[in-house]
Structures are given as structure tokens and as C-alpha cells.
Chains A and B, each alone.
Chain A
Amino acid sequence: MAPLEYLRPSDEGAAIALAEADGRACLLAGGTDVVGLLKDGVLAPSRLVDINALPIAGVEIRDGGLSIGALTRLSDVADHPAVRGRFPALAHAVLAAASPQLRNMATVGGSLLQRTRCGYFRDPVTPCNKRAPGTGCSAIDGEHRLHAILGGSDRCIAVHPSDPAVALLALDAVVRTRGSRKERAIPVDDLYLLPGSTPERETLLEHGELIVAVELPATSFAARSCYLKVRERASFEFALVSAAVALDVRGGVIRTARVALGGVAPRPWRARAAEAVLRGSRMTEATIAAAASAAVRDARPREQNAFKVELVRRVLTRVLATAGAGG
């Protein structure tokens, strides 16, 4: 780990200014991901701006929805009665993330910005377009069992690892950010960029722009939402495939549907084709099967990760049936 300047400002303006002033600055929230990346030499910032002293933690009920401060620890998000009662997919997703110890540290803002677990990205020795643009993607012809089947490019097929982000996407969450010149409200759906030819750019956020809160709007579908994650061990493991769905069902007809997938794409993946199948339909086995298939119609699996196509179908089949049954 290279030497760096460590700063711990206590107000937002100072944090933003300190980060913006140094083009190689990095923000530190819970540190559960950043510290590992620093130690592995994947990140080598000249300045680390620790934002833990900023007063942006806590869950507030606002306009019928929730405003979750960016520094709210995941364990506090999962514990909050309003989250559990009215946004169950988020509570499920948070509790499926990492381990209890990590959830006590990791923050909701940080979990949106988690870096990929791609082993080539995390090894400074191997070629990786995301870490070192232009060096090539080692995963495409290498080990890609855990990599993307949707949204990848010929430059990068890394997967976004966050569980909470998938649920936030399905719940129409909006990220409130602050830079030195502007404040923005960015829907989670708009926050992420696909790798295309610039896999090193992962979000719309500008350098130094700070996520201050994540807002969950009051919607007709949040209450009937759930999250399902398939993984290789019972805890402390990233998703092979996960899905968050949220439904508004009235009179037996699905009025609105949100379907988001994790573990399959370089960003939390909105399965709009599946949503389109669901909208206006009755929740029958046929509808579920059609939606599950629609979600992977555009999948581009490779040799080692082809199983994910079928796994997405099965996960969606299960989670749609659960949500459709009133879960």
C-alpha cells in the first residue's frame, strides 16, 4: 500500500472540497471494500477522505417514503421497522449481503459503489481494462464462471457485486448527491454506466461527488417486494444470481412490476422485458415463465457461465411466485 494523505473532515462541504482538490483522492465510508483494494494495490489514491464524521447517517420517513443517510450501516438499514415493513426487498437484500460483522461497518452509500469481485480486476498483475484501461480483459478468455451474461462488452464482463443495489433498483430508489457546484437526484437506474469501451467508468458520479442519501419513494409496488439470492455458501458470499421484484397487483392484474437482477451484469440489471411481460397480466405460471424467459432473452453467456441463464429463469420463477403470492 502506497503512502497516502488521510483526512477526516466533519462537514460535507469540506469533504467534497478535499476530494475535488485532488484528482487521485478516494472517499472512505465503511471501508469494507476500499481497505482491501488499497492493501491489494488495486487502488492507489494519494488522498483518502474519510467521510465517517459527516452527519449523514440514519433513516427518516419523508413524504411517505424513506430517506436513508448514505452512511447508514447496512445492519441499521435492515433493522429499521419501516424498511422491514414497507420495503421488504431491501431488508432481504441487505441481510443477504456479506456477514453480520461486515454489515455493521458497510454503508448503504458504499454498497452502491462496491467494486467488482472479478479476480483479474483485483490482481494488479493481470490485464484488466477496468483497472488499467487498454490492457485487455483477462476474463473473456480466462476464468469467467462468475461473470456477466448481460450488459457486458468485449472490453469487460465483470459483475457488479452489491445485493442492496439490486433491491434499491427494483424499488425506484433515488440517490441524492452533492458536489461543490451542484446537488443532484439520480435514480439508481440512471446511476450506472455499462462498460462499453470505457469499463473504467462505472457511474455517472463525478470526481468528488458525494452520495449523501438514498431515497426510497412511496410506490404502489414496494410493499409487495422481495429479494432472492443464490450463492455457494450460506453466508459471506456473493450472489451467483439474485433477483429483486416488486409488484403492484390489483384485481388479480399486475399493474406495475419491477424486476432487477444481480450477479449477472456489470451493473444492477433492470429486466425491462420481464417487466413488460408482467404488466397487465395475471400472475399465472405461464406469465411467470414468459417473464423469466424474457429476462434472459438478450443474454450472451460464455463457456463457463452459461448456467447463469437457466439460473436466472429459475430464480425469477421462484421470486415472482413468492411476490405474486403476496410475499
Chain B
Amino acid sequence: MRPTAVGTPVDRADARSKVTGTACYTVDVVLPDLAHAVVVQSTVPTGRIVRIDAAAAERAPGVLGVLSHANTPSLAEVPTFPQGPAGQRRPPLQDDTVNFDGEHLAVVVADTLHHAAQAAALIDVAYDREEAVTTLEAGDELPPSGIFGEAPDSVRGDPEAALARAEVRLDATYTTPTEHHHPLEPGATVAAWDGGRLTLYDSTQWVSGVRDAVAMTLGMATDQVRVVSPFVGGAFGSKAMVWPHVVLAALAARHVGRPVKLVLSRAQMFTSLGYRSPTVQRLSLGARQDGTLTAIVHAVTQQTSVFEEFVAGAGYISRSLYACPNVAVRHRLVRVNAPTPTVMRAPGEAVGSFALESALDELAAQSGVDPVALRLRNFAEDEPQEGLAWSSNALRECYQVGAERFGWERRTTEPRSMREGRHLVGWGMASATYGVHSEAAAARVRICADGRILVTSGTQDLGTGTYTTMVQVAADALGVPVERVTAALGDTDLPPAPHSGGSQTAASVGPAVWSAALDACSKVLALAEQGDSYAEILTRHGIEFVEGRGDARPGASASRFAMRSFGAHFAEVQVDPELGEVRLTRFCGVFGAGRILNPKTARSQMIGGIVGGTGMALTERTVTDRRLGRVVSPNLSGYAVPTHADIPWIDVCFIDEHDPHVNALGVKGIGEVAIVGVAAAIANAVHHATGRRIRDLPITPQTLL
């Protein structure tokens, strides 16, 4: 490859259409005769529906139909990820049980959104309410049956003995609250039937997952369902799985015999698209006096719904980040009358790293070792759990480059020792890591006689830049300028690709595009001697276009190497010592994440992850009333994400890393490593500023008084 496009900051291919508003998101889709659906949700956390009175709603102006468990056909269950594509196994509107507040109970369809909303307010539901478990603390702990195919508990070495012998010991409990993804675009589906064929426009991270889940739920052949999702207004995991509102849109459209648009409200998004489970994490560290880790015990309790298991492996990060001979990880679940949680940007690592990297900072303070030096001392030369060699690992460079860019050597050790005017200044840091994931993916590359190149794949662009990076890959494979290449994505009619989660899109689809482009190139070259342009060759042969196909799948390297992205975060906060207000004033994130296809879109992704981590650290939490089991203030005033005023300029740097093992392109994936460790870096900075160790997120003025 002559890398003329890959690795350069090519402008986002879809920038103009997004800035000018012509990019058609699912919420923008308009079809002839489109009707609108509004979901009615439960207002109690558990119990039975005694009665759903829809008479007034059915008589209301413009109403075309009402669906509830009384008139909804029997639907098949779809397994929850990773066994299947569903976010929730339990199909909607099947019986009279209520398992959580905010569960879908009915759908009202009308000629306009306004009529549907108005009628939805007229649905009267009577419940026979039962006793609910509404908090993690209130339920019994159960061992999960598995975590994405891994055992929930694992032990290497003898952590208890090592703890007992340790020269330095730390035992602390850290908590993180329920967090919600809240992408800008809500969950939204437009469903249109044509005889027995169904087309769904859906805001999703996984078009083929939606197709499979809906086909399975409705008992249809998958080739009877097409899913289209050209633009997604953010997701962060909330649209990785298929949630019940999607099939409700399809049912509603079939019920009224018209295409139907269903858009969740912001309030409904608190209970309809999953969330990040709260965690209680007990971390015990043992170390030698010089900070060398001898034992880590990481025990995590999280919640799931009363009807199924979902658990993110928050403790696993403690097995693989540092060299430590004795490590135990334990995961427990509590069943709560709440929706099923789901993946959220770096599921597991994002919250697990808050505990681990806070604890490392506590260990640094206890043992008198600089936090960066402590991490270097515990650097894992090989992957510590399986003992495999790293395919590549730039973590040491991340520390070093980050420390230099941030000016870490000017940090004074003692808490409360740095000031700016009346404010206390704190510098903190943390490590980041996230696994390299990829799945089988396919792509096609078409070379046209007019010189244009078209890349197609049934993957998704969540706003991360897939349209742009796939064009860059094809352009380089074919040796043509990026201006010649366009991409079409987000359609199950295109070659299949996996869900856009686990930071795997570039690593999965990129090699497929590369291979398809080479295939197309070889087909053209077979027609003529080299030297001619593609267009000349095809024109001379009177061929309109040739098409190359590419399939890529994870290689054998996965069993020979441990593959992870790494990073280091450096944060500066200023804290008002009397009022407890924390402001992030500087941030530097340095990442070793393999080949960076596009430094401009990659930088945006890292900034987004760091902003997300800042929200975790300082503002984000979903509050549920314990007695009602109901979210309080389910809106973006009650759930505070950082504003522009909260975010300083962020310094993002990538280490130039060539990894020959991960895949043909050397791509590791970047979307999730960005958020891992951010909250800990900020909490560590708060400790350095104030001397206060905050182990419960978010860190607010209240916690610092």
C-alpha cells in the first residue's frame, strides 16, 4: 500500500451533508402516508396490569389503532447479546406482567405525532402493584452464569496469601451510579410493509442484528426484512442491541396498514435502550514497599433486570493491565425491578478502571512512588492472564509522551501543594486499555468506467467517521485520490458486516474493503497491461464497471498474541477549596492504538471519549426514587452531561504504532479506549488538589465540602 490517504486528516465525507442538514437520519425519514406511533410505558416497577382502558384513546382524533398485550400476537424471544442480537430477551406486549417502571405497555398510532401523543395520554392503566426491589443494595447477590462467554470469577496465583504477606495493603470500595448513553438522536424506527416484506429505517449500530432480531421475533425469513440506517445520531452502546420499540414499530405498521414512525422521547430513553449498571467495586491491592504489585482482588456487584442477565465484566481490567502474579476477579449480580442494562462505551473497563486506577493512585500515595513511575514499575511485558506476547503495546510510550506533553515532572507530590489564585490545582493520571475486537465482515468495491469508485458494506457510521475511513482505505488500495471514491453503508442489502461496537468497525470492515479493492483492481488489471487508468481500461473494453468482493475475518494471530489498545490520561483540575466546585482545566490523552486511519476523525473520537469520561467523573448519574422505582427528572436537566463550558482544550496524541498481527491494516480500534481511565485520572487529580479521596462518582461540590 502506498499510504497517501490512510493516516492523513481527510475531511469527513459526510461533513457537508450533516452541517447543512441534508443527511437523513431515521428521525428525518418521511414516507408517503406515514403514520406516527407513541409508546405508553408502565408507571409502577412491578405488578400486574389489571386493566388497560384504551377506549378514549381509540376514539381520539386521528387515531388509527392501539396495541397492547390484549391484541398483540405472540412474539418469539430473541436471545440477548452475545447469544443473540437483542438488548432485551422478553418481547413487548406479551402478557400482563410489569417488571420495571418505564416498560412498554401499549402503542398508539395516529395520523400525526401530535394526535398520537395526545391519545397516548388518554390510555388508562390500572395495576395490581407488588413489592419491588429498586436498588442494588436492596437485593441478593447472585453469581452470573457468564460474561460474554467468560467465567465471572477467576483466580490466578494465590491472592489471599499474597495480600496477607504484602508490605503495603489497600482495601477500598468504589461506586459508580447508573449512567445513560443519551445520544443526540433518540431511539427511532420507521417501519414500512410491502406485502410480506418489511423495510425498517432504524437508528442502530447493527443493521443485520435488527434484521435478524425482528425476523426472529415475527417469525419471518430474514430475507423478507431489510434494514436501512445510513446515518446514526450517536449511540455509545444504546443502539448496539435491538430493543423492543423496533419490533413495536413493525407491529404498529402492520396493524394500521401504513408506514409508521416511532421515536422514543428523551424521558422514554431512560428505560428503553439499556444503561450502564451501577457498580459497587471492592478493590484490595497488595504491593511491595516500592510499589510492585503482588496481589489484586477486584470484586464487583452490578444490577440486572428481574427477568434476565446482562453483565459487563468490570473486573477484568484488573487481570490484564498490570504485571501481578496473584489476581482474583469476582462478579456478582443483583436482580432489580429495572430495565436490563447494556453495553455502554467500554462496558466493563470504563467503570472497572475507575476503581483500579483510583486504587493505583492510592497505592502511589501510600508507598511514596510517583503515579507514573508506579505504573511503569508494574508494566506487563506479556499479557499477564494468558501469558501471551502482546501483538504490540505502546503503553510505556503513552506514559512517557503524555508526561512530557503535560509537564508531569513539574507536579509537586503533596496534595494541596499546587495553587492558582484561590483555587487548589491537582494533577492526576491513569492508564487506559481496551481489547482489540474484530468480526467477519464483507465489502464490495466497484470501479466504474467513468473513474468513480464505490465502496459498499452493511456496516454503520455512528458519527465516528466510517464513511471517511473506508474511502481512504479503498483509495489507497487502488492508488486513486479519495475524491474519486464514495461509500454506501448502513443497509442489509449490502455485504454483511458486524455490529459497530467494541471499537471493531475499522478493524473488521477495513480489511474487507481493502481486500475488495484489491480484488476489483486485479479484475481490471487482468483486462490490460499496467499503465492505463482504470477508466481507460474499462472504457476500452466497453465495460460499465467491475466489482471486487472482499471478506475479512479475524486471523489466527488472535490465539498467538494478546491484542489491546493502550493509553495514558493526564488531567488537571482546579477546585474551589471552600465551595467544592471542580473544573477540568487541562487534559492530555495519549494512545497506542495501532494504525490511525484518519487522525482528524480519530482525534474527534478520543475527545468524545474524554468528554464522556469527564461526565462520568463530575456530573452524570441517573437518580431513581427508591420507593417508586421510577427515574426522577428523566431529562437532560436531571441527567447532566458536560457542557462546552466544562471542557477545556484537550490534547490528543497517538503513538505511531505498527502492529503486523492484529489485521491486514494494523488497525486496533479507538472508540472505547478513549474513555477508559478518564474518571480515575480526574478523581486522582481531585485528590492531588484537595487531599480528599472520592471513591463514589460523580464528584460534586457536595462530596467535597
A314 adjacent to B705 (CB under 8 Å): yes
- Given A233-B618, A233-B640, CB of A142 within 8 Å of CB of B579: no
Of listed A125, A142, A234, A237, residue having the most chain B CB within 10 A: A234
Task: List residues 102-143 of chain A with CB under 8 A from any CB of chain B.
Answer: 117, 119-120, 122-123, 125-126, 138, 141-143
B702 adjacent to A307 (CB under 8 Å): yes
- Given A142-B625, A142-B628, A233-B619, CB of A318 within 8 Å of CB of B579: yes
Q: Which one of A2, A125, A235 contacts B118 once the chains associate, using CB atoms below 8 Å?
A: A2
Taking CB atoms, residues of chain B closer than 8 Å to A43 are: none
Of listed B117, B118, B632, B638, residue having the most chain A CB within 10 A: B632
Interface size class of A (residues with CB under 8 A): 35 or more
**Is A264 engaged at the interface, CB distance under 8 Å to the other chain?**
no
A119 adjacent to B580 (CB under 8 Å): no
Q: How far is the CA of A318 from the CA of B577 in the complex (A)?
A: 11
A138 adjacent to B580 (CB under 8 Å): no
Taking CB atoms, residues of chain B closer than 8 Å to A123 are: 630, 632-634
Task: List residues 135-183 of chain A with CB under 8 A from any CB of chain B.
Answer: 138, 141-143, 145
Q: How far is the CA of A312 from the CA of B512 in the complex (A)?
A: 61
Task: List residues 11-43 of chain A with CB under 8 A from any CB of chain B.
Answer: 40-41
B637 adjacent to A117 (CB under 8 Å): yes
Taking CB atoms, residues of chain A closer than 8 Å to B643 are: 99, 233-237
CB distance from A304 to the nearest CB of B (A): 9
Q: Which one of B121, B583, B637, B705 contacts A311 once the chains associate, using CB atoms below 8 Å?
A: B705
Taking CB atoms, residues of chain B closer than 8 Å to A238 are: 637
Taking CB atoms, residues of chain A closer than 8 Å to B118 are: 1-3
Taking CB atoms, residues of chain B closer than 8 Å to A233 are: 618-619, 640, 642-643, 645-646
Taking CB atoms, residues of chain B closer than 8 Å to A3 are: 118
Dominant secondary structure at the A interface = loop
Q: How far is the CA of A138 from the CA of B634 in the complex (A)?
A: 16
A234 adjacent to B645 (CB under 8 Å): yes
What are the interface flags for B142-160 relative to A under an 8 Å C-beta threshold, 1 for contact and 0 otherwise? 0000000000000000000
What are the interface flags for A295-306 relative to B under an 8 Å C-beta threshold, 1 for contact and 0 otherwise? 000000000000
A317 adjacent to B646 (CB under 8 Å): no
Of listed B267, B644, B705, residue having the most chain A CB within 10 A: B705
B640 adjacent to A125 (CB under 8 Å): no
**Is A60 engaged at the interface, CB distance under 8 Å to the other chain?**
no
CB distance from B316 to the nearest CB of A (A): 31
CB distance from A183 to the nearest CB of B (A): 35
What are the interface flags for A307-326 relative to B under an 8 Å C-beta threshold, 1 for contact and 0 otherwise? 10011001101100000000
A311 adjacent to B640 (CB under 8 Å): no
Taking CB atoms, residues of chain A closer than 8 Å to B623 are: 119, 143, 145
**Is A194 engaged at the interface, CB distance under 8 Å to the other chain?**
no
Interface size class of B (residues with CB under 8 A): 35 or more
Question: Residue of B at shortest CB range from A318?
Answer: B578
Dominant secondary structure at the B interface = loop
- Given A142-B627, A142-B632, A310-B705, CB of A234 within 8 Å of CB of B646: yes
Q: How far is the CA of A236 from the CA of B643 in the complex (A)?
A: 7
**Is A259 engaged at the interface, CB distance under 8 Å to the other chain?**
no
**Is A232 engaged at the interface, CB distance under 8 Å to the other chain?**
yes
**Is B167 engaged at the interface, CB distance under 8 Å to the other chain?**
no
Q: How far is the CA of A40 from the CA of B636 in the complex (A)?
A: 13
**Is A240 engaged at the interface, CB distance under 8 Å to the other chain?**
yes
CB distance from A158 to the nearest CB of B (A): 12
Q: Which one of B583, B628, B702 contacts A234 once the chains associate, using CB atoms below 8 Å?
A: B583
Q: How far is the CA of A41 from the CA of B121 in the complex (A)?
A: 9
- Given A141-B627, A234-B643, CB of A315 within 8 Å of CB of B637: no
Q: How far is the CA of A117 from the CA of B640 in the complex (A)?
A: 13
A125 adjacent to B630 (CB under 8 Å): yes
Taking CB atoms, residues of chain A closer than 8 Å to B700 are: 232
**Is B173 engaged at the interface, CB distance under 8 Å to the other chain?**
no
**Is A230 engaged at the interface, CB distance under 8 Å to the other chain?**
yes
CB distance from B268 to the nearest CB of A (A): 12
Of listed A117, A232, A236, residue having the most chain B CB within 10 A: A232
Taking CB atoms, residues of chain A closer than 8 Å to B581 are: 230-231
Q: How far is the CA of A81 from the CA of B117 in the complex (A)?
A: 46
B705 adjacent to A235 (CB under 8 Å): no
Q: How far is the CA of A311 from the CA of B633 in the complex (A)?
A: 23
Taking CB atoms, residues of chain B closer than 8 Å to A122 are: 633, 635
A311 adjacent to B579 (CB under 8 Å): yes
The 4 A-B residue pairs whose C-beta atoms are closest, nearest first, are A119-B633, A234-B645, A235-B645, A119-B632
20 A-B pairs (CB sep. < 8 Å): A3-B118, A41-B121, A119-B638, A123-B634, A125-B630, A126-B625, A138-B628, A141-B627, A142-B627, A143-B632, A230-B581, A232-B701, A234-B583, A234-B643, A234-B645, A234-B646, A235-B646, A236-B645, A310-B705, A311-B579
Identify the A interface with B (CB < 8 A): 1-3, 40-41, 99, 117, 119-120, 122-123, 125-126, 138, 141-143, 145, 230-238, 240, 307, 310-311, 314-315, 317-318
Known: A123-B630, A235-B645. 16 other contacts (CB 8 A): A119-B632, A122-B635, A125-B43, A126-B625, A230-B579, A231-B701, A232-B619, A233-B643, A233-B646, A234-B645, A235-B644, A240-B701, A311-B701, A311-B705, A315-B579, A318-B579
